[in-house]
């Protein structure tokens, strides 16, 4: 009986820890830029404090997106600079960049055949 109770206590405690860790993360859309017409270009800038994950969504037929990201932890800077990204989902913060204080980014979009959109979504630590 003692073993069953101790096992149940361990399960409850581990569930509480996992629940509090999940509850400390918040996901939101940092910004979106729509462009209309063929070959139209647009961009937007943003900042994310305490980022856990930053995702760029590039949408539109034959659209091309780009991003320049500078993340800071203390005095260290981490930079990610890409252009010509095809439509899809792209990570703007690398997994090796652990516990960043903040990230500043510029996301760009160039439409292809029709309208296009670039969206940046962030999950942050509370």
CATH number of 25-125: 2.60.120.1300
pLDDT in tens, 69-87: 999 999 999 999 999 999 9
- Distance separating alpha carbons of residues 58 and 108, to the nearest angstrom: 10
What pLDDT digit, counting tens, does each position of 75-123 carry? 999 999 999 999 999 999 988 898 999 999 999 999 988 899 999 999 9
Check residue 113 and give its pLDDT.
87
Judged against a pLDDT cut of 90, whether residue 1 lies above it is answered with no
Q: Is residue 50 within 8 Å of residue 124, measured between CB atoms?
A: yes
- Under DSSP, is residue 94 helix (H, G, I), strand (E, B) or coil? coil
Beta bridge partners of 89: 57
Bridge partners (DSSP) of residue 27 are: 123
Whether the model pTM is above 0.75? yes
């Amino acid at each position: 009986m003692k073993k069953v109770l101790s096992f149940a206590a361990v399960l409850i405690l581990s569930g509480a820890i996992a629940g509090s860790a999940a509850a400390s993360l918040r996901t939101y859309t940092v910004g979106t830029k729509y462009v209309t017409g063929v070959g139209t270009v647009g961009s937007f800038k943003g900042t994310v404090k305490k980022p856990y994950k930053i995702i760029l969504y590039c949408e539109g037929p034959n659209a091309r997106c780009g991003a320049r990201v500078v993340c800071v932890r203390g005095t260290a800077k981490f930079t990610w600079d890409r252009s010509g990204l095809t439509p899809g989902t792209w990570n703007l913060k690398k997994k090796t960049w652990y516990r960043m204080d903040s990230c500043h980014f510029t996301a760009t979009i160039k439409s292809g055949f029709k309208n296009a959109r670039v969206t940046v979504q962030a999950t942050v630590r509370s």
